[in-house]
Amino acid sequence: MNKSKWGRGGHLMNNSKWGPIGVGVATGFLSGLFGVGGGILMVPCLVLLLGMEQRRAHGTSLGAMVLISASALGGFLLEGSVAWAPGLLIFAGASVGVTVGTSLLDRVPIRLLRVGFALLLLATAARFLAIAPDTDGHSDITVALAFAYVACGLATGLLSGTMGVGGGVIMIPALILLFGFVDPTAKGTSLLVILPTSIVGTLRNRRSGNIDPKSALTVGTSGVASAFVGALGASALSPRLSGILFAILLIVSAVQMLRHANDPSPSSEAI
């Protein structure tokens, strides 16, 4: 007997583990290579390929990212490409910003925010495509710089809370273009922030029932190895090639944001 069934909208939901495994492997590699959560790929796959309901897909994606981001972070740690103090300062701001952003969901025109954010992503992508950022590493932390990191986290959290996206596509350009991080360290530090954010969000989604624990575990476990490989490969990319590939990711993110500009706001995902 065929164990597959047709999900919402005529999409095939595969009850075997091959569908979630494929999603996990692909998303894990993306997470490791670019230092992002991977939700920009995982959520559409869960909805369109596995027939999962949209809000539940966001929660499941966030749960899977706990394992995937931990593995990817491990790869960057081995390469010494994680800035602990800046990452913790950014997380401190993000934890406040995401709480405030979530409370603004019913007060702010979400469509306007999503369109504006998509335009920002496109402008950032153009900057990466035009010329490789000239960076020589982040500076030692001063009081002013510490406040700047917290402000970066606050802005990241606000955008995450109001638009249902995670922090990777925001943090990495900010760390490279504003704070002078070299590419691998920006990615590793981004994952350092994403990991605890994913844990907190998953606990919240579990209380509200917006997660499929079995699928999250399957997808997350499947992406552990590929995330680690992607993280090791990230350090081997030239800054120019890395910038071009990341610009493509930003463009894909912007297009998806515009396509869903009128959708109700989902729970935050780690991107």
Res 165: pLDDT: 64
Q: Which residues pair with 12 in a beta bridge?
A: 6
Could you list the residue range(s) of the whole structural domain that residue 86 is in?
Answer: 5-259
Please count the structural domains in the chain.
1
Q: Is residue 264 part of a domain?
A: no
- Most distant CA pair in the chain: distance in Å? 65
How much is the pLDDT for 162? 66
Would residue 9 be called left, alpha or beta, if left means φ above 0 and alpha means ψ between -120 and 50 degrees?
left
Q: How far apart are CA 179 and CA 139, in angstroms?
A: 8
CA distance 36 to 69: 8
Q: Give which of 157, 138, 35 is closest to 93, Cα–Cα.
A: 157
Q: What is the pLDDT of residue 7?
A: 43
Residue 183 belongs to a domain = yes
Q: What pLDDT does 1 receive? A: 40
pTM confidence score: 0.81
Residue 104 within a domain: yes
Q: Determine the pLDDT at residue 69.
A: 92
Report pLDDT for 227.
Answer: 95
Q: What is the pLDDT along the chain (271 residues), one digit of tens a residue?
A: 444 443 444 444 445 668 889 999 999 998 999 988 777 778 888 887 888 887 788 888 889 999 999 999 999 999 899 999 999 999 999 888 877 876 665 576 767 777 877 888 898 888 888 766 666 677 788 999 999 999 999 988 877 766 656 678 888 888 988 898 988 999 999 999 988 888 888 887 788 788 899 999 999 999 999 999 999 998 888 878 888 888 898 898 888 778 877 766 555 555 6
Does residue 161 lie in a domain region? yes
Q: Would you give the DSSP letter of residue 112?
A: H
Residue 167 lies in a domain: yes
What DSSP element (H or E) covers 48?
A: helix 39-48
270 inside domain = no
Instruction: With respect to residue 268, please indicate whether it lies within any of the assigned structural domains.
Output: no
Q: For residue 234, give both structure tokens.
A: 């990230």
Query: Is 59 a domain residue?
Result: yes
